[in-house]
Amino acid sequence: MKPSLMIRSYWILPSPVGGLLLLHDGRGLCGLQFQDGAHPLAIERNWKKQRNPFTLVIQQLEKYFAGRLQMFTIPLSLQGTAFQLSVWQALQTIPCGETTSYGAIAKKVGKPKASRAVGAANGQNPVSIITPCHRVIGSTGKLVGYGGGLPIKTALLKLEQSRL
């Protein structure tokens, strides 16, 4: 995720997969970044540290990590191309604990030959976990690519699959 002038507030939430940097733009959650992952995001000086805009997000993430929530109902404020937005919407339909391939998502968004483009859009997902890009795997069933790093992707999948 690229820092944006639109971001108004942030909060860092401890979690079983490390610190989660939550970002809000005044309309909804616009970012969830793994601060202990491969690419932590620097906090900008003009962002305000405040918990209040994230109350619902924090409640739902805590329930998710405790195994009591499988689908998020958080207002999002996502910025991307029409294709990226369609991919991110398709990601939200993947059931908790299940996985799918980049090719299957490409078919779902009406672009069956665009699995690489789906992978690129997946990699630009600004709200990891909430929009579950960790549930997308390679066509061979192998875990491939994840912005937070493969150990976090593995941990999230194990966490979800242990509840089934």
Q: What is the DSSP string of 43-63?
A: PPTT-EE-SGGGHHHHHHHHH
- Spatial separation of the C-alpha atoms in residues 97 and 108, rounded to whole Å: 19
- Spatial separation of the C-alpha atoms in residues 133 and 94, rounded to whole Å: 9
* Pairing state between β 29-34 and 20-24: antiparallel
Nearest CA to 75 out of 110, 25, 147, 40 is that of 25
Residue linked to tokens 């090719």: 103
Higher pLDDT, 162 or 112: 112
- In the predicted structure, residue 27 carries a pLDDT above the cut 60: yes
pLDDT at 148: 80
Banded model confidence at residue 15, pLDDT cuts 50, 70, 90 = very high
pLDDT at 140: 78
Nearest CA to 129 out of 151, 102, 156, 100 is that of 156
| Mean pLDDT on 125-133 | 95
Higher pLDDT, 147 or 154: 154
- φ and ψ at residue 14, rounded to 5 degrees: -65, 145
Q: Go through the domains of the chain in sequence order and give each one's CATH number.
A: 9-65 (3.30.160), 82-161 (1.10.10.10)
| Mean pLDDT on 53-78 | 95
| Mean pLDDT on 137-147 | 81
Q: Which of 57, 91, 106, 133 is catalytic?
A: 133
- Reduced to 3 states, what is the DSSP secondary structure of residue 8? coil
C-alpha distances (whole Å) from 20 to each of 45, 100, 113 are 18, 24, 34
pLDDT at 141: 80
Two structure tokens written together for 100: 């799918």
96 is an active site residue: no
High-pLDDT (> 70) share of the chain, %: 95
| Mean pLDDT on 127-151 | 87
- The 8-class DSSP code of residue 33 comes to E
What average pLDDT does the structure give for the chain? 91
pLDDT at 110: 96
- Spatial separation of the C-alpha atoms in residues 25 and 6, rounded to whole Å: 5
The three-point CA angle 43-72-78 to 5° equals 50
